[in-house]
Amino acid sequence: MTKTLLLLTIYLNLNALMAQDTSYYDTEWQSCDQKNASYSRILKIGKSGYAVKDYYYPSMVIQMTGTYEDKNFSYKKGYFDYYTKEGKQKVHLYYEMGQLNDWQIIFDKEGFFIDSTFFVDGMKEGTRKLYHKNKYLQITETYRNDLLEDTTFTYYPTGKKKRIELYDHNKLVTGYCLDQLGNKIEYTPLFKQPQFPGGQDQLYEWLQSNIVYPKSLALKRIEGRVIISFTIDTTGKPTKYEIVESNDPTFSEATNYLVDLMPNWTPANLDGEKIDFKITLPIKFVPGPVGGLSYDSPSEVIDLYINGEPVLTQASEMPEYIGGYEKMYAYIQANLKYPELALENKIEGNSYVSFIVLSNGDLTDVKAIKKIGWEMDAEAVRIVKSMPKWKPGKMNGEPANVRFTIPVKFQLNN
């Protein structure tokens, strides 16, 4: 009798589960049939809204739980929790009217939280704490209206202060570093970009010496333009190549080969620790005399003219967002508005935006060059257009107009 009741209970529970609205999605969160699914979603409609449970499929390990206000899944409300394929929590969030409020907690693979940030109406407010992978407090920041303000501290594993920086509206005012005894030492930036051996000028010289113009295109006299993205890992090695833009597959192959030949760089550094960092580099192939090969030197890389002044695609000093890459991506993250269409369909990706940094630091000719659609490219262009002035690039010590390309990353917290 007991066994019969147990089987009946299991049967009823399975039927109740099947009665709920279940849908299936592929790796890009596009609707698909069950056979090709990577995720499954169980939807339950109630007084509180549209309650969703997403699962990794077919393992049926929980991937996300949360509630939406509408059937299009546009506006989140209440608590949202995301999990790894192993079932460990990744992110804990709280939403009101589709905007982040309260604490955002991000966890590492072991379940230890590494980032705690307080939000009010979608903007950072108050103290943010970031933890090192070795589980000690590494950085504390203070935000008001989503802007970095007041004092930022970084810490040694012992808990003693390592660096003290003062910010005003996202701009660094002053700062100094400390040794483990509390003595002031030479100040070094919180973040250092990766560097080619000898610097930017040596990079151009190396390209000039090592680029190989494809023989199959030499007689056609085709000029090639390729934009390649790659990661400088913690050993300094270029890895994870991605062709962002190219006018011919043969030029793409030649560019991949070129990057593969590169010597190791000095890796990027965050508060004294080496980190992976993505680089985007424009390469221009210019055919030399028949039978010969050439690479355009910085002085020859002219894209167009503005008010009689050339626009370069490479320069001895490339333009820079005031405060560096870290501050630029912080600005993007703080101001990015995820398009509803992309949000509804859970679309992620990088939209690559090209623009000219004029000699006075203004940005112009902003356009998406590698598009992902779903209204995301227009948002990427809007973000870049809204940026404050940059530090202009220089050629031979003089400010110059320089074309620049950056990726704008759209990533859901799932």
Average pLDDT over residues 44-64: 93
CA distances from 188 to 175, 185, 269, 272 (A): 9, 9, 10, 9
pTM of the model: 0.53
Look at residue 108 and tell me whether its pLDDT is greater than 50: yes
Supply the pLDDT for residue 334.
Answer: 84
- Give the number of C-alpha atoms closer than 13 A to the C-alpha of residue 109, restricted to the C-beta side: 4
d(CA 25, CA 40): 6
Return the structure tokens found at 153: 């501290």
Amino acid at position 252, single letter: S
pLDDT band at residue 20 using 50, 70 and 90 as cut-offs: low
Residue 107, C-beta contacts closer than 8 angstroms, at least 6 positions apart: 88, 89, 90, 91, 92, 113, 114
DSSP 28: T
pLDDT in tens, 221-255: 677 888 888 999 999 999 998 888 888 888 888 88
In three-state secondary structure terms, 167 is strand
Return the structure tokens found at 233: 């890992």
Supply the pLDDT for residue 377.
Answer: 87
d(CA 154, CA 137): 8
Return the structure tokens found at 189: 């930036």
Angle at 385 between CA 382 and CA 387, to 5 degrees: 115
Amino acid at position 349, single letter: G
Look at residue 7 and tell me whether its pLDDT is greater than 80: no
Average pLDDT over residues 33-47: 92
DSSP per-residue codes, 100-140 = E-EEEEEE-TTS-EEEEEEEETTEE-EEEEEE-TTSSEEEE
d(CA 148, CA 130): 14
Nearest to 199 by CA among 410, 402, 394, 39: 394
d(CA 85, CA 82): 10
Supply the pLDDT for residue 317.
Answer: 76
Q: Are 370 and 279 in contact (CB under 8 A)?
A: no
List the single range of 64-73, 208-217, 372-381 with lowest mean pLDDT. 208-217
Q: Are 283 and 211 in contact (CB under 8 A)?
A: yes
Nearest to 381 by CA among 351, 401, 361: 351
Look at residue 209 and tell me whether its pLDDT is greater than 60: yes
Return the structure tokens found at 111: 């379940």
- 48's enclosing H/E stretch is none
pLDDT band at residue 15 using 50, 70 and 90 as cut-offs: very low
Return the structure tokens found at 354: 């090209």
Supply the pLDDT for residue 314.
Answer: 67
d(CA 394, CA 143): 33
Question: Please, which residues bridge with residue 140 across strands?
Answer: 129, 153
Nearest to 51 by CA among 25, 81, 31: 81
DSSP 182: S
Q: How large a percentage of the chain has pLDDT more than 70?
A: 87
CA distances from 296 to 206, 208, 308 (A): 12, 7, 21
